Structure 1
Amino acid sequence: MSDNTQVYQVFIKATPEEVWEAITRPDHSVHYFHGAATTNTAERHETHGPDGSDWGSGAVMEFDPPRRLVHEWRSAYDVELGAEPASRVSWELDEVSPGLTRLVLVHDRLDSSPRTAESVSGPGWMYVLSSLKSYLETGEALPRAE
């Protein structure tokens, strides 16, 4: 792993199937992912903002429900971020006990995308994962971060 690889881990009181649905279906992602409608199929990753604008899309490299999803990441909602090369996001789900899933998110291939690396670090992915956890465990996502 390079110095720009980011790794996040969260335990969620939900089955891998429930977590998988939440990370692949837009009717779930709009609640916890900054209002974005994110769709992941075996072929394509697409994210649209609350107004329907393109926030980024890319190829899906691995699609193994409900265990592993790997896709390209491009932040098209910002001109400078969108000009950087695509990076890669991996979602790994592991049921550690009945109804408890460990989700590991790895965001890598960021060496040529320093602005993207900065944008998703810190509260970026941690907010999304914390909001996902809250959404699945309580039915309510976190308030949107400003």
Structure 2
Amino acid sequence: MNSATGDTPLAQAGTAERAYYKVTIEAPIETVWNTLVKTDDALPFFFGAICRTPGSLEPGAPIAMETKDGKFRSVVGEVLEFSPPHRYAHTFKFTNMEDAPCTVIYELKAIAGGTEFTLITENVPVGTKTEKSMAQGGPFITENLKSLVETGKPLMSGKMVMMLGPVMGWFTPRVCRSENWSFDRIRKLEK
């Protein structure tokens, strides 16, 4: 089940307050957490990207969602919170868009029969390409994470992303090249 709702006092002027995407995953919380925070594999629920960081995932660390070949970075941000196995939050900026960063929060809760996984987006600039992409990405991420954890395989949409990844480099804007998004530059974005 996916749901998107709003309303929180944390929103900034001109930003969508919050959107929630929830799913129940039939697996222990540790299994879901370990899959979510992998930094050494291309992740189909993150559109085939590898989560790169210069060290470990910890508050203040810059992160980049990078193609398997390392040539492009589609999303950059900074870890805001890392509390295993319950909560992980980071800023989020698409490298091909001029929109201001927003915040992504992953919350995990152990429940009978598995884990409740909630993806929360907040302070997304209203009326932007980022807002549209985030609204489409939330269900994709939650459902592909669920499938990968429960079956060992992503949904067909996740498989397609993984298959098309190598070809997409031809169509990726130059602004997304990894050399344009060093970890030093990512750190400066957040200041």
Name the amino acid aligned to 2:154. Answer: A
What is the match of residue 48 of structure 1? Answer: 66
Provide the rounded CA distance (Å) in 2 between the counterparts of 1:13 and 1:39. Answer: 27
Aligned partner of 2:147: which letter?
A: S
Deviation at 1:143, TM superposition (A): 2.0
2:64 and 2:77 in contact (8 A); partners too: yes
Q: What is the rounded CA distance, in whole Å, between the counterparts of 1:29 and 1:66 in structure 2?
A: 21
Percent identity between the aligned chains?
Answer: 26
Query: C-alpha displacement at 1:47, in angstroms?
Result: 0.7
1:68 aligns with 87
Question: CA offset at residue 38 of structure 1?
Answer: 1.9
**Greater Cα radius of gyration, structure 1 or 2:** 2
CA contact (8 A) 1:95 1:101 kept: yes
Give the structure-2-normalised TM-score: 0.66
Distance 2:126 2:134 in 1: 14
Note the C-alpha offset of 1:19. Answer: 1.2
* TM-score of the two chains, using structure 1 as the length reference: 0.84
For residues 27 and 135 of structure 1, the distance between their equivalents in structure 2, rounded to whole angstroms, comes to 16
The equivalent residue for 1:17 is: 30
Report Cα offsets for 1:69-102 as digits up to 9, x if no partner.
01000111x2xx2x111100000100012x5000
- For 2:42 and 2:69, locate their aligned partners in 1 and report how far apart those are by CA, in whole Å: 14
Across the aligned residues of Structure 1 and Structure 2, the Cα RMSD in angstroms comes to 2.1
- The answer as to 2:130 corresponding to 1:116 is yes
Whether 2:101 is the aligned partner of 1:86: answer yes
Aligned residue in 1 for 2:168: none
Structure showing the higher strand proportion among its residues: 1
Deviation at 1:129, TM superposition (A): 1.1
Gaps of 5+ in 1: none
Q: Deviations over 1:35-92 (max 9, x none)?
A: 111247012332102342111221111110000001000111x2xx2x1111000001
Aligned-partner Cα distance in 2 for 1:118–1:31: 20
Give the Cα–Cα distance (whole angstroms) in 2 for the partners of residues 116 and 103 of structure 1.
Answer: 22
Q: How many residues align?
A: 140
